[in-house]
Amino acid sequence: MLIRFNKPYGVLSQFTPEGRWRGLKDHIDLPGVYVAGRLDADSEGLLLLTDDGQLQAQIADPRFKMEKTYLVQVEGVAHENALAQMAQGVMLKDGMTRPARARAVAPPAVWDRVPPIRVRLNKPTCWLEMVIREGRNRQVRRMTAAVGLPTLRLIRTAIGPYILGELPVGSWAEAP
């Protein structure tokens, strides 16, 4: 069994809550399923869960280099130079990232985040679509910051062939 879950902001990629963050048990009541990969509490979107250990490893293990696609709202305007830097790889404290596919996109029709992102009237924002093949800790956020575009909102829309689609926030469905 493979479950797609549209993880809301403020929910951990684990069943038990911790500190101010809620756990998956508030949304998913299925015994024997485990998270395949992680998504930070302050990130939203597609999280996969499975009862198949081999599939879990294939999805989560960086050796398989499964693509992950994100919609990223950043502070600032994404100029070609910033997009080109991400396409070549970005130097982070833990080394050079693999090249990412990054492009500016029109603001997507997505659910309202609770709580909403901070808005600064004198700073424009824009949306990017980013595709990475690694899974370093907070990698997309660190990459956008490194090119001068701090992330305000991060929504994962796909992991390999598995897509979020129209799944409502906080809901889950069995993957086809």
Is the fold of 2-62+160-174 the same as that of 67-157?
A: yes
Mean pLDDT computed over 59-83: 91
Average pLDDT score, the chain: 93
67-157: CATH topology is: Alpha-Beta Plaits (3.30.70)
Which residue bears the tokens 């906080």? Answer: 170
CA dihedral 29→33→35→41, nearest 10 degrees, is 10
Q: Percent of the chain beyond pLDDT 70? A: 100
List the chain domain ranges.
Answer: 2-62+160-174, 67-157
The residues that are catalytic are: 40
> pLDDT of 76-135, one tens digit each?
999 999 999 999 999 999 999 999 999 999 999 999 999 999 888 889 999 999 999 987
The yes/no answer on whether domain 2-62+160-174 falls in CATH 3.30.70.580 is yes
Instruction: Please tell me whether residue 127 adopts helix, strand or coil conformation.
Output: strand
Q: Using the 8-state DSSP alphabet, how is residue 84 labeled?
A: H
DSSP string, 16-70: S-BTTBB-GGGT---TT-EEES---TT-EEEEEEES-HHHHHHHH-GGG---EEE
Strand pairing report for 101-105 and 95-96:
unpaired
